[in-house]
Chains A and B, each alone.
Chain A
Amino acid sequence: MEVKNNNSEAIEHKLDVSVSPHIKDKATVQKVMLDVIIALIPAGFSGIYFFGIRSIYVILTCVIMSVISEWIMQIIMGVEVTVDDLSAVVTGILLAYCLPPSVPLWVAGIGAVTAIALVKNLFGGLGYNIFNPALAARAILVASWPVAMTLYIAPKMGSISLLDGIDGITSATPLTLIKESYNYLADTTNLDPEKIVQMKRNILDLGNKDLWLNLFTGVKGGSLGETSNLALLSGGCYLLIKKIIDWRVPVTFIGTVLIFSLVLGRNPVFNILSGGLFLGAFFMATDYVTSPVTPVGRLIFGVCCGLFVVLIRFYGGYPEGVCYSILIMNMLVPAIDKFTIPKTFGY
């Protein structure tokens, strides 16, 4: 008894007194980000498989530059260095995935620095940025180096060589092809019958099941990590199962594009499988910081993103609208949050 007494006396001085709850969920910011990185791996492999070893260089450039610029920015700004939360790594990967595989590495590097230094840290760092850093950086790159940012190469499965450069055959992405076809047919001054037949065939080909399969697995031109819907979907499901992301945003986002394509007489399957819709819906629009926090707000956000994609693709100047639709909606997030405060229990 005496010994025990001494023991508890000794312990007593060390007792921690703090507020409840005394147990916490194991989730940390770092673990959440790690899960996102894991979910992004399949899409990375598909990029490497379809566009060659150069994809790795692009990804590495973006990730390394992101981490370094986060570290330097936080030191300059005199805040705690939180590179270990892995959010910069996620931004780097996401940026790489929405760049063309043939992008010059220095452009990718500038993109990463822009994303982290300008879009994220100058706004206060993780949690305070208004725009999705990767998407905002991509938008800036498209405006600054339009040629390098729209030069897409055709996929060439499995040809992995360390010396692989930008020697791929450039090709239009499916969305560019369709946009051009519609534009050509809409212009009544074009009278070349052969070309008109070709353009009409392009549009009719959309019903082709083989094309759908190619679009789904990723055999198409496009940005590095956005072509394989299969890989993105598996990553997205991983995030949904682990409850990292809410189903509301991706489901309403993709669903809206599907429904409006149908309503406006375009091929709905083609429209959800082409472009960066899956990458945007599962990984960009669900970005915690730049999307609404309320359940209803997330529904509104997803629907509006889908609406803007349809508007930009069908009536706008760009063949693809995912990037801009999300950026536009990012601006509205504070307002959406304010108007969708949940009804408190008992009111």
Chain B
Amino acid sequence: MQTFRGGVHPPQSKYTKDKPVEKARLPKKVVIPLHQHAGCQAEPVVSAGDMVKTGQKIGESKAFISANVHSSITGRIESIKKGVSPIMRDGWCVNIEGDGTDEWFGSKETADVGKFSPEEIRQKIKDAGIVGLGGAGFPTHVKLCPPCDKKIDTVIINGSECEPYLTCDYRLMIEKSNEILEGLEIIKKAVGAEYGYIAVEDNKPDAAEKIKSVLKNKNDKVIVLKTKYPQGAEKQLIKAVLNREVPSCKLPLDAGVVVDNAGTAVAVRNAVLENIPLIERVITVCGSGISTGKNLLVRIGTSFRDVLEECGGLKKDVWKVIMGGPMMGLSQFSLDIPVIKGTSGILAMTLDERPVLQERNCIRCGRCIGVCPMSLMPNMLGLYSSRFMLEDGFKYNPQDCIECGSCAYVCPAKIPLVQLIRFIKGKKLEQMRKCKI
């Protein structure tokens, strides 16, 4: 079976696998950060006191790498002030008090893909403010306009969902397989790609079967991959599916590939064919600290507290609340954090799930080297980083670390390798930027 080198096998814990996606209650108020994506913050185009409708643009992208932001409910803008977002960047947030009517802004029209040119598709995606729904939140329209000297021949829909607990992409593949394929065709058209692949891990055979059964295009294929973390990392996915290596510090388009998450494909389809901006997404609410795990279709800007309450609230001995999966997600300090476009899940872990954290000396077991999907030497990077021996550590290519956490996961000495490598990686990137200028 196709796969990549390295990786780990954390317990899958996909408890919400069989829970169909439910529509969450309409939130009474939402907090919508204007900075939910990679790149620059969107500029607000509304002001406090304005009335907005569902789907109305409230933030506009001015820079090249940026995305529009839309209101997810109908109501009055209470204020635009600094607030915290789950990605720990504090930035401007639009607070909207809902009136409960959920009136749509503009009209929802349906169209056919054939009608649009690649330019129009990109424009529609840009208008809808679509970013990658996998977590990193890279604006999709930017991804879909490769430089003219780069020929894109393949589009991969990432349905591997290698993070434990998360099941939102799995549910989408089961419930919205047609929409995913339509999204794939649109993305293919936008970048002029010939082949389309849907990559699914072998722990979701029914999802793979479901998509196979609705496949129409001969150039599209479902690829079943070995279940392994981080199978869903872009570079690893391309290696596994096409056996192409994305060069260091380059993008998938340098390997002739565009990778988009299954959820993103659905969002693209909705934006292009039905003019629906990205105002809601499917998230998995799960973990031992939650009474009933669910897959919920949630409006962007709903607070974690509201989402968790809809799932029966937190149990007493909750230790951590995480946005995203347990391997790469971000632990949160408050429940008044809004769901953003990149929120793939909310996990609540209880005290008994807390891992042993007592740090010991590195015993040079070499496990981190064995599992590193980028073939780095995390032990050396960690050592040099902790000793502040940056020049020595730079030789070990810290800039290529994808921060997947596999090394820290397997380390028997419980050394916080991701933290240490992140530090030296930052320093190296700083140096590289200086050299370029």
* Pair A346/B250 contact, Cβ less than 8 Å: yes
Q: Mark A288-313, 1 if CB is under 8 A from B, else 0.
A: 11011111001000000000000000
Given contacts A127-B364, A128-B361, A293-B364, contact A345 B335 (CB under 8 A): no
Given contacts A25-B410, A294-B369, contact A20 B309 (CB under 8 A): no
- Is B51 an interface position by the 8 A CB rule? no
**Which of B142-150, B199-207, B264-272, B374-382 is found at the contact surface with chain A?**
B374-382
Can you sample 14 A-B contacts with CB below 8 Å?
A12-B333, A21-B405, A22-B322, A22-B329, A24-B357, A25-B10, A25-B409, A25-B411, A29-B363, A32-B365, A126-B361, A345-B400, A346-B250, A347-B397
Q: A295-B370, A346-B250 are in contact. List 6 more A-B contacts (CB 8 A).
A: A4-B313, A8-B314, A14-B319, A24-B414, A26-B355, A288-B366
Q: Mark B264-300, 1 if CB is under 8 A from A, else 0.
A: 0000000000000000000000000000000000000
Task: Output the nearest chain B residue to A290 by Cβ-Cβ distance.
Answer: B364
- Is A146 an interface position by the 8 A CB rule? no
How far is it, in angstroms, between the C-alpha of A23 and the C-alpha of B235 when the chains are bound?
23
Most A Cβ at <10 Å: residue of B365, B413, B416:
B365
* Pair A27/B379 contact, Cβ less than 8 Å: no
* Pair B376/A23 contact, Cβ less than 8 Å: no
Given contacts A127-B364, A347-B248, contact A20 B318 (CB under 8 A): no
Chain B residue numbers with a CB within 8 Å of A347 are 247-248, 397
* Pair A341/B377 contact, Cβ less than 8 Å: yes
- Is A169 an interface position by the 8 A CB rule? no
Interface size class of B (residues with CB under 8 A): 35 or more
* Pair A21/B369 contact, Cβ less than 8 Å: no
* Pair A288/B363 contact, Cβ less than 8 Å: yes
Task: Describe A's contact surface by its main secondary structure.
Answer: loop
* Pair B314/A345 contact, Cβ less than 8 Å: no
* Pair B366/A293 contact, Cβ less than 8 Å: yes
* Pair B366/A294 contact, Cβ less than 8 Å: yes
* Pair A19/B419 contact, Cβ less than 8 Å: yes
Chain A residue numbers with a CB within 8 Å of B362 are 127
Chain B residue numbers with a CB within 8 Å of A191 are none
- Is B245 an interface position by the 8 A CB rule? yes
- Is B408 an interface position by the 8 A CB rule? yes
Q: Mark B412-423, 1 if CB is under 8 A from A, else 0.
A: 111010110010
Q: Which of B247, B320, B369 contacts A295 (CB 8 A)?
A: B369
Q: Which of A17, A26, A289, A295 contacts B364 (CB 8 A)?
A: A289
- Is B330 an interface position by the 8 A CB rule? yes
- Is B328 an interface position by the 8 A CB rule? yes
- Is B388 an interface position by the 8 A CB rule? no
Q: Which residues of chain B from 318 to 344 have a CB within 8 Å of any chain A CB?
A: 318-322, 326-335
B153 to chain A, nearest CB (A): 19
* Pair A27/B319 contact, Cβ less than 8 Å: no
Chain A residue numbers with a CB within 8 Å of B347 are 22
Q: Which of B309, B367, B408 contacts A21 (CB 8 A)?
A: B408
Task: Describe B's contact surface by its main secondary structure.
Answer: loop
How many A residues face the partner with a CB closer than 8 A? 48
Task: Output the nearest chain B residue to A124 by Cβ-Cβ distance.
Answer: B361
Q: Which of A22, A25, A29, A288 contacts B360 (CB 8 A)?
A: A29
* Pair A22/B248 contact, Cβ less than 8 Å: no
Task: Output the nearest chain B residue to A333 by Cβ-Cβ distance.
Answer: B364
How far is it, in angstroms, between the C-alpha of A272 and the C-alpha of B322 when the chains are bound?
54
- Is B349 an interface position by the 8 A CB rule? yes
Chain A residue numbers with a CB within 8 Å of B308 are 8
A75 to chain B, nearest CB (A): 17
Task: Output the nearest chain B residue to A344 by Cβ-Cβ distance.
Answer: B397
How far is it, in angstroms, between the C-alpha of A309 and the C-alpha of B327 when the chains are bound?
45
* Pair A21/B332 contact, Cβ less than 8 Å: no
B239 to chain A, nearest CB (A): 8
* Pair B245/A288 contact, Cβ less than 8 Å: no
Q: Which of B5, B314, B397, B403 contacts A7 (CB 8 A)?
A: B314
How far is it, in angstroms, between the C-alpha of A292 and the C-alpha of B335 when the chains are bound?
46
How far is it, in angstroms, between the C-alpha of A292 and the C-alpha of B364 when the chains are bound?
8
Chain A residue numbers with a CB within 8 Å of B413 are 28-29, 127
* Pair A23/B164 contact, Cβ less than 8 Å: yes
* Pair B419/A23 contact, Cβ less than 8 Å: no
Q: Which of B313, B326, B361, B374 contacts A8 (CB 8 A)?
A: B313
* Pair B330/A20 contact, Cβ less than 8 Å: yes
- Is A125 an interface position by the 8 A CB rule? yes
Q: Which residues of chain A from 233 to 249 have a CB within 8 Å of any chain B CB?
A: 246
How far is it, in angstroms, between the C-alpha of A23 and the C-alpha of B246 when the chains are bound?
29
Q: Mark A1-44, 1 if CB is under 8 A from B, else 0.
A: 10011011001101111111111111111011000000000000
How far is it, in angstroms, between the C-alpha of A134 and the C-alpha of B228 when the chains are bound?
38
A299 to chain B, nearest CB (A): 13
Those 5 A-B pairs whose CB atoms lie nearest each other, nearest first: A21-B405, A127-B361, A24-B355, A4-B313, A293-B366
A328 to chain B, nearest CB (A): 19
* Pair A342/B377 contact, Cβ less than 8 Å: yes
- Is B221 an interface position by the 8 A CB rule? no
Given contacts A23-B164, A126-B363, A347-B248, contact A15 B412 (CB under 8 A): no
Given contacts A27-B410, A293-B366, contact A345 B326 (CB under 8 A): no
- Is A82 an interface position by the 8 A CB rule? yes
Task: Output the nearest chain A residue to B255 by Cβ-Cβ distance.
Answer: A346
Chain A residue numbers with a CB within 8 Å of B376 are 342, 344
A17 to chain B, nearest CB (A): 5
